[in-house]
Structure 1
Amino acid sequence: MNESRLVCIVDDDASVRDSLSIMLGLKGFDCRTYESSEAFLSAAPDKPCCLVLDLNMAGMSGLDLQEKLGSLHHPVEVVFLTAFADVDVMRRAFLNQAVDFLEKPVVMSILLDAIERAFERLKSNAVATVRTQSFETLTPREREVMTAIAQGMTHREAGALLGISPRTVEVHKGRVMEKLGAKTLAELVRMNIERTH
């Protein structure tokens, strides 16, 4: 079911808004429609969403809205719709992390695929945010222990490097794994690699 997944449709053409809302609603998505970028900004949802966004509208363009949302760090993934695609405009959209750039009239199966990719990105971003917040709870010593262990050092080697006992290394490692939700050493190593790259 898609009821908890919000799709916001921003298009100055009421017929496009209505038809997309009906079709996506039938697929189980929670849909909200907006007639302009400004209308979306004034009533933007506070939860993550997929934004199906018309490129060319009166007032603030779709690209300008995408850039504005990026600067606000709003949890949104954008799928652009346009009647005519321009390579430079597409480049700008993709440089700002657009999920896709589709031409009108849009093929529903292609739009649904793009929306699914948008929600996968939102999910990945949410996990990354939680992980970043978890890393921020680590003390400087816990970070040092994590790095040493992730580099393959034994408790004894890490202790010698850091000037602490192997038992203290083990205690710090346990706290790190608990704070990060790592269940295995392999998970801890992977998390450290993701954090440093």
Structure 2
Amino acid sequence: MATIQIKAGNPVVIIVDDDALVRRSVESLFRSVDFAVLAFGSAHDLLDADLPDVPACLVIDVRMPQMGGFECHGQLLDRGIDIPAIFLTGHGDIPMTVKAMKAGAVDFLTKPYREQDILEAVYAGLSSATVKRSAGEQTKALRERYALLTRRERQVMDGVVRGLLNKQIAGKIGISEITVKLHRSSMMRKMEMRTVPDLVRAADAIATQFASDGSKIPA
């Protein structure tokens, strides 16, 4: 697979179009507004590439030889690569538009499109990718902190998140209230939380992340 060098942290626009003239034109447009750009002549070239680990937006033609834009985007999703996509076509219709929206498209543009329209779509896509990446990094950090908790601390955290008082948590897991307070203090410190509402939001994010990858939350 090809290894692609992009400056760390810089978002990138990924173009996939089998028409070389269209590909170069779109690439030139994005570079003119200082976007980092990667361009591919086929879906297979994109799928074979070792993509940089940065926020990205995909601009892809719907109809290409061997593999079209929808199938390519679907394969990326199957690999866990969730890139906001803008689908391009020279022959748009309502069913195709609906299909694009169901595939999670940022936009669906019919050629010839206005430069302003595609630029606005890309800005929206990169903004979405950046927000998702930031949220993902925060959830990963929460999960790493959760992994540092002892079994008792996790039990206490569960009780706190459920809205139980220290006395109720003590009775539920069979330890003294003073011990619950000690575990609670240690748990909040390890989780880097100051308030119960913050802890509840963190617990929700952790649970969602575990559910998304099909793993079980450690007891």
Shared fold by TM > 0.5?
yes
Q: Percent identity?
A: 29
Q: Which runs of 5+ in 2 are unaligned?
A: 1-8, 209-219
1:106 is the counterpart of 2:113? yes
Root-mean-square deviation (CA), in Å?
Answer: 2.7
Structure-2 separation of matches of 1:139 and 1:85: 56
Counterpart position of 1:128: 136
CA contact (8 A) 2:142 2:202 kept: no
Of the three residues 7, 32, 36, the one matched with 2:13 is 7
Query: What is the TM-score of this pair, normalised by structure 2?
Result: 0.74
Structure-2 separation of matches of 1:102 and 1:178: 50
CA contact (8 A) 1:158 1:169 kept: yes
Pairwise CA distance, 1:113: 2.8
Of the three residues 23, 32, 48, the one matched with 1:17 is 23
Counterpart position of 1:84: 91
Q: What are the superposed Cα offsets for residues 53-79 of structure 1, whole Å, 9 maximum, x if unpaired? A: 111111110011011111111242211
**Partner SS, residue 65 of structure 2:** coil
Pairwise CA distance, 1:13: 1.6
**Partner SS, residue 66 of structure 2:** coil
1:47 is the counterpart of 2:67? no
Structure-2 separation of matches of 1:114 and 1:152: 43
Q: Which runs of 5+ in 1 are unaligned?
A: none
Of the three residues 167, 173, 186, the one matched with 1:162 is 173
Quick one: structure 1 residues 33 and 176, their matched pair in 2 at CA, closer, same or farther if it must change by over 3 Å? Answer: farther
Structure-2 separation of matches of 1:119 and 1:178: 35
**Partner SS, residue 12 of structure 1:** coil
Counterpart position of 2:70: 63
Counterpart position of 2:217: none
How many residues were matched structurally? 195
Pairwise CA distance, 1:172: 3.8
Deviates more, 1:67-76 or 1:180-189: 180-189
**Partner SS, residue 99 of structure 1:** strand
Amino acid at match of 1:185: V
CA contact (8 A) 2:139 2:205 kept: no
Deviates more, 1:139-148 or 1:74-83: 139-148
